[in-house]
Chain A
Amino acid sequence: DIVMTQSPDSLAVSLGERATINCKSSQSVLYSSKKKNYLAWYQQKPGQPPKLLIYWASTRESGVPDRFSGSGSGTDFTLTISSLQAEDVAVYYCQQYHRTPPTFGQGTKVEIK
């Protein structure tokens, strides 16, 4: 199975500041012939199901604010929240879907400093 490792486990950021979450996969999730990275990001707030934010590593899901962006390729990926808002307090997960089984990172908790 592909192991997904996120860093940090938690971070505290001031309102309006940038938050950066990293995700590393144990093997490449780049499908070379299609030039696509099979990597998604989710946001989960307490008591709610995960919500899809980003897929194909950098494509924002419809309705997701543009302060959320995804980048990276191969084995190293980043989710950036450009200007943290109070409603962004949540746990964020990366997920690879290059190989079965799809696997998730352990999660990164984002809080307000």
Chain B
Amino acid sequence: QVQLVQSGVEVKKPGASVKVSCKASGYTFTTYGISWVRQAPGQGLEWMGWISAYNGNTNYAQKLQGRVTMTTDTSTSTAYMDLRSLRSDDTAVYYCARGDYGDPSRYFDYWGQGTLVTVSS
């Protein structure tokens, strides 16, 4: 069965960086893409960006350009999301979600369990 398993809780200080991992199993990793979606406490869903596990192409949300980098390691079927210069309003649960390998905009049929990132001094 398809599973996306994310890394654990992170607590960071403002200005620091965080790297969240998302290990995929149960399907051929390189035939899909991975999007990252975050959810601030009590808030809705915000798409952060996408990476194709097929060719490494990326597409990032405009508001995060320059602060976010998404990568994959096809040898371990793992996607990573690196967010730099953290601010308090980056506090959220971060989800990886499976999408299309060629199109950043697609519905998401499988989601990771979420990783809580807390940014606090």
Interface residues of A (CB under 8 A from B): 38, 40, 42, 49-52, 55, 61, 93, 95-107
Give the distance in Å from the alpha carbon of A42 to the alpha carbon of B108 in the complex.
Answer: 9
B45 close to chain A: CB less than 8 A? yes
A113 to chain B, nearest CB (A): 23
Across the interface, A106 reaches (CB within 8 A) one of B44, B61, B114, namely: B44
User: In the bound complex, do residue A105 and residue B44 qualify as a contact, i.e. CB atoms below 8 Å apart?
Assistant: yes
A8 to chain B, nearest CB (A): 15
Interface centre among B59, B105, B112 (most CB of A within 10 A): B105
CB closest residue in chain A, given B98: A52
What A residues does B109 contact at CB under 8 A? 52, 55, 61
A42 to chain B, nearest CB (A): 8
B51 to chain A, nearest CB (A): 13
What A residues does B62 contact at CB under 8 A? 101
Instruction: Scan residues 39-73 of chain B and give those whose CB is less than 8 A from a CB of chain A.
Output: 44-47, 59, 61-62
Q: Can you list the 7 inter-chain pairs with the closest CB atoms, starting with the nearest?
A: A49-B111, A40-B107, A55-B107, A97-B105, A104-B45, A100-B105, A102-B105
B13 close to chain A: CB less than 8 A? no
